[in-house]
Amino acid sequence: MAAGEVFVRRRRRRAGRNIEIILGGLVDAVRNQDPEHITEFLAADLVWEGLAPGLRCDGREQAMGIIRNRFAAAPLNVEAVEAIDAGQHVIVGLRGPGFNGTLGDLDTVGQIYNVFTLSHGKVIRWRDYLTREQALAAAGASDPHWQ
Per the prediction, the chain carries an average pLDDT of: 89
Strand partners, 81: 94
Side by side, the strands of the sheet bearing 56-58 are 56-58, 42-49, 122-129, 109-119, 89-97, 80-86
Asked whether the beta carbons of 26 and 33 are under 8 A apart, the reply is: no
Q: What does pTM read for this prediction?
A: 0.86
CA dihedral 75, 43, 125, 15 (to 10 degrees): -90
How crowded is the C-beta side of 115, counted as CA atoms within 13 Å? 21
pLDDT score at 147: 65
Higher pLDDT, 143 or 59: 59
What domains does the chain contain, in order, with CATH numbers?
Answer: 3-139 (3.10.450.50)
Query: Mean pLDDT throughout 47-62?
Result: 94
pLDDT band (50, 70, 90) for residue 146: confident
pLDDT at 91 over 80: yes
pLDDT band (50, 70, 90) for residue 81: very high
